[in-house]
Each structure stands twice: as C-alpha cells, then as structure tokens.
Amino acid sequence: MPRAILAGLTLPASRPLSIPRWWSGVAAVALGCLVIAAIYGPGILAPWRTGWMLEGTIGPDPVQYWLGWTYFSRAPWSWPPGLNPDWGLEIGSSIFYSDSIPLLAFAFKALRPLMEVSQYWGLWLYACGALQALMAWRIIGLFTADPLARLAGAALFLVQPLILNRLGGHFALGGQFLLLMALYLCLTREPAARRLAGWAALVGASSLIHAYLLPMVAGLWATDLLARALRDGRRPAWLGMEALAVPLIGLCGLWLAGFFVLQSGLGGTWGGFGRMQLDLLAPFDPGEWGRFLPQLPRADHLEAADSYLGLGVLLLLAAGLIAFLARPGMRPGWPLLAGLAVFMALAVTHRVSIGGWVVTVLDLPERAVSLADALRASVRFFWPVAYAAMVGAIAALVHALGGRRAGLVLAGLLVVQVADLQPGVARLHGFFRPAPATAPLRLADPFWTQATARYERIRLAPTGMQARHWEEVAVLAATRGLPTDAVYLARLDPERVAALNATTLARLSTGRHERGSLYVLGDKDALAAAWAGMDPTRDLLRQADGIWVLAPGWLQPLVAAHTGASPPP
C-alpha cells in the first residue's frame, strides 16, 4: 500500500497501516451501485432506452447530451475527432460543448460498427456512484483498515448533495470521483515514473470529461508537484518532465475533444464570474435537501442551493476539528492547503455573498473578470475543498479514536446524513420517473413527417442559445437524420450566431432561400420576413403544432422539390 501523507496531515510513522481485505472494496463498489439504483432506478441502464432523457422531467440538459451524441455518432471521423458540425451548422462546434462526455463518446463511436449505443449516461451514472464510493474507500484505507470505517466513510462521500444533485441532471459533473482520485494521489507516495503516469492519465481523462473538473484536478496536481519539489529536490529531472508532460496531455485532450474550435464566447450567457459564486452560508443551508436544519437566506442564482453538505457531514467536520485539537500529532502540509485556499477563493470570488447579501471586496480589472468568465459557475470550486475537509476530518477521528471506534462514529453520522437528506432524495425520485423506451416526438403534425422527407436541413430563425422551439426542432431533426442550427450548447460564439441570424433573415425577406432548407420561425421579425419574401405560388407558410414554418418550393411538383424544394435564386 502507498505510504499515506494526507498532503496536509501526516500520520505518525509509528502507526503502520494494514492491508485491507479485497471484499471490502467490492462492497464499496456494490454500495455505490445500490445507492444509484435506489435513487435513480434501474430503468436508466439499458443503452437503448432514451425516453427517460427526452420526456422532459429533468429539463433540457439531458436532451442536449443526447443530441450531441446522436449527431456525433453518425458523423464521419474528422480531425480533430471531436468536431460535430451537423448540430449547429455554421454555429456548430464539437462534442466537447454539448457536455456529452467526449471520453465515452469517442469510445462508443469507435465501437459503432460492432454495436449501436443510443445512450450511455445510465452506465455513466452507475459508474460515478461506484467509483465515488471506491475512491473514498481507498482514501480512508490510508488511515485505517477497519471495514466499517471505510464503508461508512465511503457512503458519506456518496450520500452527498454535491454529487447527487449533479447526477440528477448535469451528468458529466457527476464525475467527482476524479477529484477523489486526485486527492488520493496527493496523499500517497509513489515512484516518480508511476506518479507521472498517474497524473498524466488523470489530467488527460479529466480533459475528456468536463471543463470544470479539469482545472480542479490540474490544480491538485500542481499542489502535489510543488509538495514533491520541496520534499524531493534530488529528482529535478523527473519533476521537470512531469511539469511539461502533464499539462501537454491535458491540452491534447482538449484539442482532441474540440475545445479550441470555439474562439470566443467562452464566458457563456448565464452571467459572468462573481455572479454564480459560493454563498458562505450555503454549506449550512438545507434548501430542498435537508429536513432538520432551518432554512437560511441564500444567493439568487441558479446554483445557490447546491452546496449543502448534509447534517451528517457537518457533524463529521465538527467532530474532526475537535479530534484534531484534542490530539495533536498531525501537521498541515501547506502546498495542498494553499491550493485548497485558491479553490475557495475562486468559489467565493471577489464578490462575497453571505445569505444573499453581496459585497465587492476586490475590484478586479475588467480584463481579468472577462478571462474568469469561463469559470462563471465558480461555486463548483467548493467541491474539492469540501471533499478534502471530509478526508481530513475522518483522518483526525481515526488518529484520535482508532479505526474501530471511528467506524462506529462514522456509521452513526451516516444514519444522520441519510435521515437528513430524505427530502432531497425524494425530489430526485420524481426526476427519474418511469418512461417509455423511446419518447414520442413533441411535433406530431403529419406535416413534419412529409417535410423532413423533402428537405435536407432545418433552420431555426432566429437561432441561438436555447432559442424558441430549439428543443422540439432539434430532436425532430436528429430523429429524422437532418442537420439543424437549433442548438443548446455549453458555449456559443456570439459573433457567429449574429452573422447566421442576419444571413437567414436576409434570405427570408428577399426570398433567396437556401436550397434544401426548411425554416422554423421563432419570432415576429422572422415571420414578417417570411411573409415578405415568400412566393405564394410555390412556397408554403403555415402553422404546424402551433409553430410557424416556411417550406420553400412546397407547392412545386415533388420531383422538382425533391432535391431542395426551390429553384436557384
């Protein structure tokens, strides 16, 4: 077993650790799967069942993931391989920006000649539960071999709103086991070559899973590199090689996934840095999750209530602090503590929020804020801080009480955690309600079947981030195998969106319609332009399922319209 150093808390050398029995690890994996099954059900596992993602209960994000994967899976391989042009057309980008977990998308696309997978997110959710529990079990095993302590402690990392809330919709962000893997590497000592390989693999995988998890993992790697540079100054060659190789692997992963396809618009559209920050009361505010603690005032943003830790974990942190003060003997390691302080500063931002009351404590240059806008939902940087605090508290309890008694305490805290989180778990049960294997199309008018057989693509006017009618149009287009510019992506280039909308509006108003395009009209300006530019002897302007549609060349004979529906302008 690697020597434990808890990158901040070093166990006395006089207390060697025993090797745990393998069945305890299997039990941790099984526990992770059972928790996911109990909350989200078994119906999400089958790769051919997509209804639970598309029927609408859990919002538009799962629809986005499915659309990104569906278009990507059908597209020919490109260079870089993450390009996904048919979803978005001129404003399309890559599999990276549909949050479709590029690592899995690459794997299942490569397997497509052998097997077709309609969705892999059910498997991912179960894997996240299993790996979260397994990695927590391994970390706790650095301090005690007691099976109860390890299993109960692992369950506390899993029965945790920080991850369960994400698995309820933001699937890729449920990969928080990556943070635990990074903490594990920070807490152990390995030969230089194995350490380099471990960090390179972890940073590379993070770059192919989600953009928010990557800087957290990379930040923990940087703290570990600094700690080893201070401790192992005799091996500068290995450290220098790692300092070059690990970031290069991360950049290569981003390039492969298509991150660099987008040159602007990385700040997004839902508010910039300092607008979706960690409220200092949020870890103690039960919100929709807890049953025992009183409700507290909170910030007014989309993720304001997502940082509650649960009463069991709050008691764990308090007990760990008491144990640390009562029995000294573990010393902090400042590189990791400094890294966690940076994460906390990013989470809180320069606009400190306390119970929804916000005060700007630091005036950052506009250029710095613009760059930081890419990390707009900075509240998420609280995750590694919370997990590191839990690890430290468990280590302190084991140090003070011994493994067996600490296990009993952790088991009791788990009971409290489960009881406290019942309202939140019940809410998640409602998210993943039983659904048919395939959700019916929301556009049921027979016109859509005829139109998608005649046209080559579907245009949305105007288009943009979650533009009106985007979801039903994009799902229709994907189901019928047509490209579309109706999108919901993590980031969009605003200049490309504006240019496309201007071009489309000009085509509509002048009647110079793009050959092979069916136009879905989302606002009064687009409808007015369509009226002005249409030829009533050949074009059809009508409503289908309450949506205005312009079908150029619809009134021409089918043989003339089959390849595009309108003659060249």
| DSSP character string of 392-457 | HHHHHHHHHH-HHHHHHHHHHHHHHHHHHTHHHHHHHHHHT----SSPPPS---HHHHHHHHH-SE
The last residue of a domain, from among 240, 261, 282: 261
Q: Is residue 160 part of a domain?
A: no
Residues 371, 276 share a domain: yes
Q: Tell me, yes or no, whether 350 lies in a domain.
A: yes
| C-beta of residue 451 within 8 angstroms of C-beta of residue 551 | yes
Tell me if 344 is assigned to some domain.
yes
* pLDDT confidence of residue 295: 95
Q: Are 440 and 518 in contact (CB under 8 A)?
A: no
> Is 346 a member of any domain?
yes
* Cα 272 off chain centre by: 18
Give the gyration radius of the chain's Cα atoms.
Answer: 26
Domain holding 511, by residue range, is 446-551
- Same domain membership, residue 513 and residue 392: no
φ, ψ of residue 181 in degrees (nearest 5):
-60, -40
Q: Return all residues near 432 (Cβ < 8 A) that are at least 6 apart.
A: 39, 40, 41, 43, 44, 52, 57, 58, 168
Contact in structure between 356 and 300 (CB atoms under 8 Å): yes
Token pair 């004979």 in the structure block, residue: 557
Do 277 and 372 lie in a common domain? yes
DSSP secondary structure string, 171-209?
A: GGGG-THHHHHHHHHHTEE--HHHHHHHHHHHHHHHHTT
> What are 557's two structure tokens?
């004979």
pLDDT at 17: 44
Last residue of a domain, one of 261, 284, 319: 261
What is the DSSP pairing of strand 457-461 with strand 517-521?
Answer: parallel
Q: Which single residue is written with the structure tokens 């804020």?
A: 369
Burial 272-303 (b: 16+ CB within 10 A, else e): bbbbbbbbbbbbbbbbebbeebeebebbebeb
Residue for token digits 């977990």? 101
Encode the chain (569 residues) as per-residue pLDDT tens digits: 455 554 444 444 334 444 446 788 899 999 999 999 999 999 999 999 999 999 878 889 999 999 999 999 999 999 999 999 999 999 999 999 999 999 999 999 999 999 999 999 999 999 999 999 999 999 999 999 999 999 999 999 999 999 999 999 899 999 999 999 999 999 998 888 999 999 999 999 999 999 999 999 999 999 999 999 988 665 688 899 999 999 999 999 999 999 999 988 787 666 789 889 999 999 999 999 999 999 999 998 888 888 999 999 999 999 999 999 998 766 768 899 999 999 999 999 999 999 999 999 998 888 888 888 888 899 999 999 999 999 999 999 999 999 999 999 999 999 999 999 999 999 998 788 888 899 999 999 999 999 999 999 999 999 999 999 999 999 999 999 999 999 999 999 999 999 999 999 999 999 999 999 999 999 999 999 999 999 999 999 999 999 999 999 999 875 444 444 443 33
**Claim to verify: residue 234 and residue 277 sit in the same structural domain:** no
Q: What does 269-338 look like in DSSP terms, one character per residue?
A: SS--TTSSPPBTTGGG--TTT-SSSPP----SSTTTTS----HHHHHHHHHHHHHHHHS------HHHHH
Q: How far apart are CA 286 and CA 305, in angstroms?
A: 8
Give the residue from 235, 261, 287 where a domain finishes: 261
Amino acid making up residue 471: E
298 and 250 share one domain: no
- What pLDDT is stored for residue 266 in this prediction? 81
Give kind and range of the element (H or E) at residue 390: helix 382-401
> Is 314 contained in some domain?
yes
13 vs 434: CA distance, rounded Å: 53
- 392 lies in the same domain as 269: yes
Residues 6+ apart with CB under 8 A from 532: 508, 509
Query: Is 7 a domain residue?
Result: no
Tell me whether residue 320 is in a domain. Answer: yes
Instruction: Say if residues 48 and 376 touch (Cβ distance below 8 Å).
Output: no
- The verdict on 250 and 283 lying in the same domain is no
pLDDT of residue 549: 98
Domain count, the chain: 3
Whether residues 255 and 277 fall in one domain? no
Q: Is 210 helix (H, G, I), strand (E, B) or coil?
A: coil
Residue 379 and residue 364 share a domain: yes
| Domain match, 352 and 376 both | yes
Looking at the fold, whether 283 and 367 belong to one and the same domain comes out as yes
CB 240 within 8 A of CB 229: no
Query: Which residues neighbour 528 within 8 Å (Cβ) at sequence distance 6 or greater?
Result: none
Confidence at residue 562, expressed as pLDDT on a 0 to 100 scale: 43
CA distances from residue 159 to 29, 135, 417 in whole angstroms, order as listed: 14, 14, 7
225 domain-assigned: yes
Q: What is the pLDDT of residue 15?
A: 44
pLDDT of residue 514: 96
- Mark whether 387 and 499 lie in a shared domain: no
**Residue 519 three-state SS:** strand
Task: Quote the pTM value.
Answer: 0.92
CA atoms lying within 13 Å on the CB side of residue 4: 25
Across the strands, what pairs with 461? Answer: 521
**How far apart (Å, rounded) are the C-alpha atoms in residues 51 and 43?**
10
Q: Read off the tokens for 253.
A: 């992963």
